[in-house]
Structure 1
Amino acid sequence: MIHCLNPNCTQPGNPENHRFCQNCGWRLRLGDRYEALYPIGTGRNSRTFLGRDRTTLVKPQCLIKRFTPTGATRLAQETTAEKFRNLVSALAISSQHPQIPDLLGYFEREQQQFLVQQFLAGSDLVQFLKDKGGPFSSEEILALLRDTLPVLQHLHRHRIIHRDIKPSNWRRPTNQGHWWLVDLGAMKPLAATHRGQPGTVVGSAEYIAPEQLRGAATFASDIYSLGVICLQLLTGLRPFDLFDSVHGCWRWHSIVPDVDKPLALILDGMVQPAVSDRIGSVETLMAALGMANPSLGSASSPQPPKKWTPHWEETFESQILAVTSLPSIDALLLLTTAGTIEVRALAKPQTCLTILTLEIPDPLTLVPHPHVPLFVVGSRQGGCEVWSLVQTRWQCRSLSDISHGITQCVFTSDGETLIGGDHQGRLCLWDWAKSKVKTVWQEHTSPITALESLSWRS
């Protein structure tokens, strides 16, 4: 069965090989490759599905997370959506590390946002401790720290706090020896000017640092949480059973008195309630453990970090026919086969400002006006629409039709005249402001495939 990703679909189950939902008509695949099989988790504004990649037989399983922006107003919803886009950008950076699942894709559809991640099969630290049948030794704790600290170092070097370090978020894939960090949905990218301002409280209560409870998570908060995990693995007891809330300290030494003194000092330094008393950076912690090149990462990493190209990439549901910029308002225009124009921010193309629905069928060409917020779309079937931005709204009107499909359009350099070419080799000049044809002539027998801007004088 294929699960429809439309949150409003009342009967989301669909037979195999269906491409559209038989109940609501939604396209079942994201980017024509990823489809959901069944839900495996639900959050406040999100739902996670086990999915599969239809384009490969090698490790086809994936995770699909659907996020629904919320807010009392359209502006509030867009603000929420933008925060999720920032999270996706941070995920793209995080997944460069070989012990963090890959970000496979990001999609937006009808006010819904979707991210697709690599799926990991294997046990987490909770199950591993249960299967082990007893607590960890000092050597096993040291091995765990040496394996996991380079992952935190990678995040912190990119100014990202995970904020939900707990045993269930460390997973060891089947037939692999390294622990992978999963579920980065709570992580927080920090601005360059961040000074620990209070924010939303997230995390798991047993592992969360005191300052994080106040909404002021720091890089040291992740160190605290990892230290608490180590105490749990050493003693076999839950954190709430180890912390003395009356005296505000951890009571674990009497339970495992044979822990190596250097390791005990390091663990105590990781779980100090006061940030000023705690080991403050992963690099300091790695140096205390004698790890080589702490500033460059562990030499025991399973593979070199993946290359990252800092450009935004997005897979669209419809094929893109034409892309152009509209310099007068710093916008990017995308003409799609769905008969729409996506208006996006030129400086940040992942931000879709609005989607315009065309009235003419079979659009082919898109041309921006050189001076004002206006553009023209030409049709294969012989029509042109002029779209202009009036205050904050886009308005559409039609130019006089011609009998043959328009293959190319261009404005003259002064922006006063629009020139269009058709399939029959004819050229048509419009006074676009008055929606009138100035003249039509034919000097070619083949379709016009390209036009260049020129200065026109009547």
Structure 2
Amino acid sequence: MSYCLNPDCQRPTNPSATQFCQHCGGRLLLRERYRPLQPLGRGGFGRTFLAIDEDLPFKPLCVIKQLHVPRHTGSHFTKAVELFHREAMRLQELGEYPQIPRLLAHFEQEKRLYLVQAWISGQTLAQELHEQGRFSEGKIWELLQDLLPVLQFIHQHQVIHRDIKPANIIRYNRTPTLPQGSSGWSGLSASGIDPAARSLVESLSDRKLVLIDFGVAKSLASPTPCTGTIIGSPEYMPPEQIKGKVVPASDLYSLGVTCIHLLTQVPALDMFDIANNHWAWRDFLLKGTRISDRLGQILDKLLQEAISQRYQSVDEVLQAINASQITSQLTSVQARALHLSPLTSASARSSAVTPTHCPGQLSSAIGVDYTKLRDLLAAAHWKEADQETWAVLCQALGKPLGRYLLPGDLSKLPCEDLQSIDGLWMKHSQRRFGWTVQVQVYQSVGADYGSFCQRVGWPLHNSTSSYSSLKFNRSAPIGHLPSRVWVGGSYWWRHMEAIATKLTECSPQSVKKIGVNPA
């Protein structure tokens, strides 16, 4: 079918091939290209519609957003037009990112403004909550791991979303399901994807979260300060946004409110204790539900009323998550050891990191001298130690100094040497850095290399020619060092998989195997 976008049309449904509305006479095709099929929703200043692009052979699906303000006069309408144009600008600035719908077009037709975006198949978290009920702690961890890198990306591009809430987060479904009611158009195919967006969609893992609706997003690079009109969803707004001001930490507050709403399925404002000025969300958990202290502490800090008491950036949240997960894993290993016999328990405790090797022990199967690496690490000369790590790797593998190494080369690295290098990094960083730590982070994100890079603070591209993107201090994210500057080859990004495999081979109990298959 075709759907008329004239807001005043009383019978907007039309046959599929119709060019003009049979009721009001309005033109059905936008730009003689985009055919609206059915309404998807409305809210704020816009209405959204499922549509197809008739210019392309497979007639791929897309989404049309129409500016719709009942009264087209006064400051209210002027503000709506400004926000609509701003959404297009924000989407254009953000460019192509898999977890943000791609902007396909922005135009005016018959004195109405439109945006056209790539269609993302899936449900919003608000719909998922309604159908499936309260989220488990595991699903909240997954939400944080999925969405924080998106916020990190937009904040790095000087954009604040200002409307983080379950209705603006879609869980992508790689097997498309058409919206209810779309079966009325015989030519509609769930497999239709706009070619311009195809590469982005294909790079998006199934069930990943996508952030939508940048209609109220604000640019930090704007010549005017981030103050003025109160915009967003009040129940998810931080105090400063209610006063017309926003900072990157404002999005983090809204993310925290989103998490506690999904955990409890209770309206957000019902959980705020006005008398004591704090979120009493634990009081609304389903009876018998227990949330771990590590997640509770992270949510509590996201929800702090004072900006100064809140996480200041996505990086800080990711570091807190990494620290809590690694601490939990090490604690779990130690806890299991308590159930063993005294002799076995002592052995397990001494080998929690590298069971067959003492951390910091200097030994080599082929006579490599690790004294310099030890001394640099002991003095916290992290950059020089990172450079020395490349040098000793070359020596241990019989390669010329400075030669880039392939991930496959690591299979030839003697276990003694791997454990010596890793043990020195673990010992002198108090288990903040080292390959064991990196593998634990890698496994905690399901062996997803992109997510791993986000966690440890590495760029997604391979920066082998410069140390400019690295931090050489203890405030660097957990697992940030040693770096990957030594990695070369076409499949450089598989180095983490190779390290995980080799570490598991050399020390089977040192890392918990999650999605990593030893060779």
Q: Which amino acid letter does the alignment assign opposite residue 247 of structure 2?
A: T
Write the distance in 2 (CA, Å) between the matches of 1:271 and 1:220: 10
The aligned runs of 1:345-356 (5 Å cut-off) are: none
Q: Which of these residues, 244, 251, 264, is aligned with residue 296 of structure 2?
A: 264
Q: Structure 1 residue 66: deviation in Å?
A: 1.5
Name the CA shift for 1:81/1:196 in 2 (closer, same or farther; >3 Å). Answer: closer
Name the CA shift for 1:277/1:283 in 2 (closer, same or farther; >3 Å). Answer: same
Q: Which amino acid letter does the alignment assign opposite residue 2 of structure 2?
A: I
Task: Name the SS of the counterpart of 2:62 in structure 1.
Answer: strand
Name the CA shift for 1:245/1:23 in 2 (closer, same or farther; >3 Å). Answer: same
Q: Which residue pairs with 2:236 in the alignment?
A: 207
Task: Name the SS of the counterpart of 1:47 in structure 2.
Answer: strand
Name the CA shift for 1:300/1:22 in 2 (closer, same or farther; >3 Å). Answer: farther
| CA contact 1:71–1:80 (8 Å) conserved in 2 | no
Q: Does 1:147 align with 2:146?
A: yes
Deviates more, 1:25-34 or 1:244-253: 25-34
| CA contact 2:30–2:109 (8 Å) conserved in 1 | no
The aligned runs of 1:163-242 (5 Å cut-off) are: 163-175=162-174, 176-197=206-227, 199-242=228-271
The aligned runs of 1:285-304 (5 Å cut-off) are: 285-290=317-322, 298-299=451-452
Name the CA shift for 1:41/1:194 in 2 (closer, same or farther; >3 Å). Answer: same
The aligned runs of 1:4-403 (5 Å cut-off) are: 4-7=4-7, 9=9, 12-22=12-22, 26-43=26-43, 45-56=45-56, 60-67=60-67, 72=73, 81=81, 83-94=83-94, 96-137=96-137, 139-175=138-174, 176-197=206-227, 199-253=228-282, 258-290=290-322, 298-299=451-452
Name the CA shift for 1:77/1:273 in 2 (closer, same or farther; >3 Å). Answer: closer
Q: Deviations over 1:158-198 (max 9, x none)?
A: 2222111111221112242211112222222233455442x
Write the distance in 1 (CA, Å) between the matches of 2:9 and 2:284: 54
Q: Which amino acid letter does the alignment assign opposite residue 209 of structure 1?
A: P
Q: Which amino acid letter does the alignment assign opposite residue 215 of structure 1?
A: G
Unaligned runs of 5+ in 1: 306-458
Q: Deviations over 1:19-61 (max 9, x none)?
A: 3445555442223321112333334653322222224465832
Name the CA shift for 1:246/1:102 in 2 (closer, same or farther; >3 Å). Answer: same
Q: Deviations over 1:377-396 (max 9, x none)?
A: xxxxxxxxxxxxxxxxxxxx
Task: Name the SS of the counterpart of 1:279 in structure 2.
Answer: coil
> When the two structures are superposed, what TM-score results if normalisation uses the length of structure 2?
0.51
Paired residue total: 299
Write the distance in 1 (CA, Å) between the matches of 2:26 and 2:6: 7
Q: Structure 1 residue 266: deviation in Å?
A: 1.6
Name the CA shift for 1:84/1:35 in 2 (closer, same or farther; >3 Å). Answer: same
Name the CA shift for 1:133/1:41 in 2 (closer, same or farther; >3 Å). Answer: closer
| CA contact 1:171–1:182 (8 Å) conserved in 2 | yes
Q: Structure 1 residue 79: deviation in Å?
A: 7.8
Taking only aligned residues, the RMSD between alpha carbons, in angstroms, comes to: 3.5
Write the distance in 2 (CA, Å) between the matches of 1:270 and 1:219: 12
Q: Deviations over 1:248-293 (max 9, x none)?
A: 1112346668433333222111000111211121121112222979
Identify, as 1 or 2, the structure richer in helix. 2
Q: Structure 1 residue 146: deviation in Å?
A: 0.9
Q: More relative contact order in 1 or in 2 (CA 8 Å, sep 6+)? A: 2
Name the CA shift for 1:117/1:273 in 2 (closer, same or farther; >3 Å). Answer: same
Q: Which amino acid letter does the alignment assign opposite residue 119 of structure 1?
A: W
Unaligned runs of 5+ in 2: 175-205, 324-440, 443-448, 461-519
Q: Deviations over 1:317-372 (max 9, x none)?
A: xxxxxxxxxxxxxxxxxxxxxxxxxxxxxxxxxxxxxxxxxxxxxxxxxxxxxxxx
| CA contact 2:19–2:27 (8 Å) conserved in 1 | yes
Q: Which amino acid letter does the alignment assign opposite residue 269 of structure 1?
A: K
Q: Which amino acid letter does the alignment assign opposite residue 208 of structure 2?
A: H
Q: Structure 1 residue 131: deviation in Å?
A: 4.4
Identify, as 1 or 2, the structure richer in strand. 1
Q: Structure 1 residue 225: deviation in Å?
A: 0.9
Write the distance in 1 (CA, Å) between the matches of 2:143 and 2:130: 16
Name the CA shift for 1:241/1:53 in 2 (closer, same or farther; >3 Å). Answer: same
| CA contact 1:150–1:297 (8 Å) conserved in 2 | no
| CA contact 1:164–1:187 (8 Å) conserved in 2 | yes
Q: Structure 1 residue 92: deviation in Å?
A: 2.3
Q: Which amino acid letter does the alignment assign opposite residue 146 of structure 2?
A: D
Q: Which residue pairs with 1:359 in the alignment?
A: none
Task: Name the SS of the counterpart of 1:290 in structure 2.
Answer: helix
Q: Structure 1 residue 16: deviation in Å?
A: 2.0
Name the CA shift for 1:105/1:92 in 2 (closer, same or farther; >3 Å). Answer: same
Q: Structure 1 residue 226: deviation in Å?
A: 0.7
The structure number with the bigger radius of gyration is 1
Task: Name the SS of the counterpart of 1:93 in structure 2.
Answer: helix
Write the distance in 1 (CA, Å) between the matches of 2:166 and 2:98: 19
| CA contact 2:83–2:216 (8 Å) conserved in 1 | no
Q: Which amino acid letter does the alignment assign opposite residue 217 of structure 1?
A: V
